[in-house]
Amino acid sequence: MRLAPSPSGPLHVGHSRMAILNDEYVKRYGGKLFLRIEDTNPSNIDLDSYHLIPEDLEWLDVKVHEIVIQSKRMDLYYKEARRLIEMGKMYICECSQADFKNYKLNSMACPHRERAPETNMEAFEKMISGAFRKGDVSAVVKTDLNHPNPSIRDWIAFRVKEETHPLTGRTYFAYPMMNFSVAVDDHYLELTHVIRGKDHLNNTEKQSYIFTYMKWIKPHYYHYGLVHIPGALLKTSLIKKGIRDGTYSGWSDIRLQTLLAMKKRGYRPDTFRKYWVNSGMREIDSEFSWEIFNSINKEFVDQHAKRLWFVPDPVRLRIVGGWDMNSKAPFHPGNPDEGERVYHLGAEPEIYIPGKDWLTIADKEKFRLKDLCNVIRKDNGIIYADNSHEDLKKIRILQWSPADSQDFSVERPDGTVDNGKIEPLFSKVKGVSQFERYGYVNLDLERKKGYFLHK
């Protein structure tokens, strides 16, 4: 089995599917998983991704047995190309791009198609030694000019690139197209099974010509349906543009759906695995469900998410008439091992409550400060009422935070920020916590802020 990403950036949610599906197959049935970095197009390579991709995979707990880098195997591709030329199955076309396209669309042979193998070989050697300019020539695999799908008729296997390759520099001038290098590598890596998206259906057919000409055994192919991930920006080129022009702070900007960003928000690798295994390998296109994805993540995260009181948009109030006020509450109601938090507030303390709630509390309305006491609103202040637990079901219960609370802000994936106060003991909490009546947040203690995960 293999994972074959192009090194144009780190992995995102979409990639996690193919990684996990392949990995899961290998883990269940045995075998070997290659990570094959497909860097045969020097124009869209991001040097960092050579290490970011393996790191992402490691985070996902995908076990890669061996890493193969295509740009280091160019001689192999050239060697196999020569064999095809000798067999008369590949030729060097010197038509313009437009002419070549025209011939194909009309099922016609281009003038170079029937040249002798020796002539082609000569042209090929010139091509790889850099004697041609970009766009002048290409190496073409003969298929069937009458194939109903024009893209499958005589497809291009090598083209000239003049850019400097980030890894190999200016060593090579002719680079294989994905369909050629993939066929050669799938054979030499002795792959038995290939799992990939059904956007590759045509490629599978193109590649099969190589297997047939070379008399190689084809792997078994499985094509899963495409998933549309709502609200996600996954096009690496667009993300890169956004990073360059300052729209995004980097690959881990939490508005993005790169694995880096999702990790920062507190998503767990197990969530990815469970979600993708659960959605299976059907050929149906489907809609990615954040609803289900988040609920799986909540399952993993909730058990150790300490509860905290965060007060967005805080209003500062004095509890008039409250003497010797104390509060004690567990960090996790269902998990006593997580400990508890205790506050001694003293007499007539000041506290913060959420501005949004304060706005909707009527004059003379009674409400509860959670784990503290009941109060009644009077004009623009509150007075102590009692500490009975009797009407808990009837009145609303608000989270609050003491006067010595810290400033804290939560960044949300939609780009907005909630500013507020957080209870002092938050500094004892690490990782993902649940802000009561607010949602799950991954804490960044050093910077006194958090990243919103989900409700």
Partner RNA sequence: GCUCCGAUGGUGUAGCACGGCCAAGCAUACCGGCCUUUCAAGCCGGCGACUCGGGUCCAAAUCCCGGUCGGAGCACCA
From candidates 203, 271, 401, 405, binder to RNA by CB under 7 A: 203
Q: How far is the CB of 418 from RNA (least distance, A)?
A: 14
Binding mask 395-434 for RNA (x = CB under 7 A): --x-x----------------------------------x
295 exposed, middle or buried (CB, 10 Å; 0-12, 13-18, 19+)? middle
In the stretch 46-85, what mask flags binding to RNA with x, by CB under 7 A? ----------------------------------------
Q: Where are the beta strands (DSSP E) in 58-119?
A: 66-69, 90-93
Closest distance to RNA from the beta carbon of 449 (Å): 20
Beta strand 227-228 pairing with 220-224: unpaired
Query: Is residue 208 within the footprint of RNA (CB under 7 A)?
Result: no
8 A C-beta contact, residue 70 and residue 37: yes
The interface with RNA within residues 332-351 (CB under 7 A) comprises 333-334
Q: Residue 240 burial (CB < 10 Å; 0-12/13-18/19+)?
A: middle
Assess contact for 254 and 411: CB atoms under 8 A.
yes
- Interacting residue with RNA among 302, 338, 348, 365 (CB under 7 A): 302
Among 1, 2, 3, 4, binds RNA (CB under 7 A): 4
Considering only residues 210 through 269, tell me which ones interact with RNA, judged by CB under 7 A. 225-227
What tokens does 435 get? Answer: 């802000």
Exactly one of 370, 377, 412, 448 binds RNA (CB under 7 A); that residue is 370
CB distance 399 to 310 below 8 Å: yes
Q: Which of residues 141-170 bind RNA (CB under 7 A)?
A: 148-151, 153-156, 159-160
Cβ proximity to RNA: between 36 and 449 the closer is 36
Nearer to RNA, 131 or 249 (CB): 131
Choice from 357, 411, 418, 423 touching RNA (CB under 7 A): 357
The answer to whether residues 288 and 227 touch, using CB atoms and an 8 Å cutoff, is yes
- For RNA, the closer of residues 44 and 208 by Cβ is 44
For residues 32-51, which are near RNA according to CB under 7 A?
38, 40-41, 43-44
Judge whether 254 and 265 are in contact, CB under 8 Å: yes
Residue whose structure tokens are 């905290």: 308
Number of residues binding to RNA, judged by CB under 7 A:
77
Listing DSSP states for 102-148 in one string gives HHHHTT---TTTT--HHHHHHHHHHHHTT-S-TTT-EEEE---TT-S
Question: Is 372:329 a contact under the CB 8 Å cutoff?
Answer: no
261 vs 353, which CB is nearer to RNA? Answer: 353
User: Least separation, in Å, of the C-beta of 271 and RNA?
Assistant: 12
Q: Considering only residues 377 through 396, tell me which ones interact with RNA, judged by CB under 7 A.
A: 387, 389, 392-393
Answer yes or no whether residue 100 interacts with RNA by CB under 7 A: yes
Residue pair 138/93 in contact by the 8 Å Cβ criterion: yes
Smallest distance, RNA to C-beta of residue 446, A: 26
SS3 213: helix
- For residues 261-300, which are near RNA according to CB under 7 A? 278-280, 282-289, 291-292, 295, 298-299
Helices (H), 173-268: 178-188, 201-214, 236-244, 259-265
Q: Which stretch binds RNA (CB under 7 A): 89-97, 111-119, 263-271, 316-324?
A: 89-97
* Residue 185 or 253 with smaller CB distance to RNA: 185
CB of 213 to RNA, least distance (A): 19
Helix axes of 13-29 and 269-279: crossing angle, nearest 10 degrees: 80
